[in-house]
Amino acid sequence: MTADIGRFHTRMGVGVGESFADYVNETLGFGLTNTTALFSVGLVVVLVLQFRERRYIPGIYWLAVVLISVVGTLLTDNLTDARGVALWVSSTVFAVLLAGVFAAWYARERTLSIHAINTTPREAWYWLVVLVTFALGTAVGDWTLELTGWSPGASILLPASLILAVLAAWRFGMGPVLSFWLAYILTRPLGANIGDFLALPKGEGGLGLGTLVTSLVFLGTILATVVYLTRSRVDRTEVVASDIPEGESALT
């Protein structure tokens, strides 16, 4: 388990989730059910490795990010494609679920700071939030396209603008924990829209790279990030002492 889960969890995760899930499901013909089962098993295995570690290992952490992004995307795809659930319904359900998870996490731990993720329960809450935000980001990203009729490129501007608004609010005094989580959540629809923009055919407003090339672009970016973080160690931060539960110590 890691003392600081890391601050570099960005839009690449949901982008690769969106494109890679589509590639395996549609291009390779696995189907939603088989694709969901395959990546869910892989996610469980990697999360077991992640929870067993007493320190932050970028390779394991980012592999968990990739797999949880795919599984989160598939949750929305199963609801939309297999069950016919409207995107506004799934977006609402996941938003309410996310709010509930945050409320339960805070009620239990009295902090939502990522710098205080130094116990197994806090890490479990963190990964649950990550899973729900990936599912929410996919739903909201697709719903934005459906609701507005914008091209995939134009749809990127909305979440990007909201992230900039959060940054400005933080600069003017909004709390760092609230600012982080608002920006974090907004990177999900941003990543989904970027993935659509890169993968969709030019006739549909995309760049026409396809799901395979788009997945490779995101995976290559994540791999470069892992190598950089492993060598530079810039993502290691000190745990806030006041957030460590009584009787426990920060892990290193």
Question: For residue range 226-247, what is the model confidence (pLDDT) as tens digits?
Answer: 777 777 776 665 444 444 444 3
Percent of the chain with pLDDT over 90: 34
The most distant pair of C-alpha atoms in the chain lies apart, rounded to whole Å, by: 60
Does residue 73 have a pLDDT over 90?
A: no
How does DSSP assign 41-95, residue by residue?
HHHHHHHHHHHH-SS--HHHHHHHHHHHHHHHHHHHHIIIIIS---HHHHHHHHH
Tokens of 181: 């989580």
Q: Which among 205, 193, 214, 188 has a CA at the least distance from the CA of 27?
A: 214
Cα angle, residue 134 at apex, residues 137 and 109 outer, rounded to 5°:
115
> How far is the C-alpha of 132 from the C-alpha of 176, rounded, in Å?
21
Helix, strand, coil percent content, the chain, rounded in steps of 5: 75, 0, 25
Predicted pLDDT at 150: 86
CA distance linking residue 144 with residue 102, whole number of Å? 24
* Encoded tokens for 97: 């679920």
Amino acid making up residue 164 = L
For 14-51, the pLDDT digits (tens) are 455 556 666 666 666 677 888 888 889 999 999 999 99
H/E stretch holding 245 reads none
Q: How far is the CA of 34 from the CAs of 24, 26, 79, 142, in angstroms?
A: 10, 11, 15, 22
| More confident call, 180 vs 149 | 180
Average pLDDT over every residue of 92-114 = 95
Q: What percent of the chain has pLDDT over 70?
A: 81
- Checking if the pLDDT of 10 tops 70, the result is no
State the chain's mean pLDDT as an integer.
81
- Please report, as a single letter, which amino acid is at residue 168: A
Q: Where does the pLDDT of residue 181 fall: very low under 50, low under 70, confident under 90, or very high at 90 and above?
A: very high
**Residue 2 confidence (pLDDT) above 60:** no
Predicted confidence band of residue 124 (pLDDT cuts 50, 70, 90): very high
For residues 84 and 215, what is the distance between their CA atoms, to the nearest angstrom? 26
Say yes or no to pLDDT of 252 above 50.
Answer: no
